[in-house]
């Protein structure tokens, strides 16, 4: 059996990969309002120009980091954006504090950059990427219902 054969690609991932080829309308990837609840530690909410609303919690966003390293690692393990890595089995049980952003900075007019409490900061979250990984009921239903 080749390595290709054991790579698990879920239907959802395959559809997302397909969806990456079609362009979203400008209003769908232009935020009207961006709320980063850094003090509350909850997550990010975006109101889009086309009237759509999206929100994500911080740990979801950390696990959906779009940088090349994280993206490749997810591809290799067949993990979808936002899904946490499986816990390593060790004898030592360590408490891991939930990952939070220490700093959130806009990148030009097209993206957000997070400096996470675990030290990672190479992901650039473009509006387009965020809109594509929208977790609202409508978008999730679309992914599952196709």
Chain contacts with Zn ion (rule: CB under 5 A) = 65, 67, 70, 123, 134, 136, 139
Which residues, including other chains, have CB under 8 Å from residue 97's CB and lie 6 or more apart? 117
CB 72, min distance to Zn ion, A:
10
Instruction: Return the number of the residue (101 or 123) whose C-beta is nearest Zn ion.
Output: 123
Name the minimum Å distance from CB 92 to Zn ion: 25
CB of 2 to Zn ion, least distance (A): 28
Instruction: Compute the least distance from the CB of residue 14 to Zn ion, in Å.
Output: 19
DSSP per residue, the chain:
--HHHH----HHHHHHHHHTTSPPPGGGGSEEEEEE-TTTT-EEEEEETTS-EEEEEHHHHHHT--SHHHHHHHHHHTPPTTPPPPPP--SS----PPP-EEEEEEETTTEEEEEETTS----EEEHHHHHHT--SHHHHHHHHH-
Q: Which is nearer to Zn ion, 38 or 55 (CB)?
A: 55
**Residue placing its CB nearer to Zn ion in the complex, 14 or 141:** 141
DSSP structural state of residue 22? S
Measured from the CB atom, the residue of 15 and 93 that comes closer to Zn ion is 15
CB nearer to Zn ion: give 38 or 135. 135
Shortest distance in whole angstroms from residue 125 CB to Zn ion: 10
């Amino acid at each position: 059996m080749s390595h290709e054969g054991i790579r698990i690609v879920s239907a959802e991932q395959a559809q997302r990969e397909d969806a990456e080829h079609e362009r979203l309308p400008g209003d769908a990837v232009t935020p009207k309002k961006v709320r980063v609840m850094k003090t509350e530690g909850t997550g990010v909410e975006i109101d889009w120009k086309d009237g759509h609303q999206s929100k994500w919690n911080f740990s979801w966003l950390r696990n959906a980091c779009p940088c090349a390293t994280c993206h490749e690692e997810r591809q290799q393990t067949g993990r979808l954006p936002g899904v946490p890595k499986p816990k390593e089995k060790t004898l030592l049980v360590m408490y891991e504090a939930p990952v939070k952003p220490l700093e959130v900075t806009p990148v030009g007019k097209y993206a957000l950059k997070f400096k996470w409490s675990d030290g990672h900061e190479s992901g650039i979250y473009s509006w387009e990427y965020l809109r594509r990984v929208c977790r609202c009921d409508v978008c999730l239903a679309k992914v599952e219902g196709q």
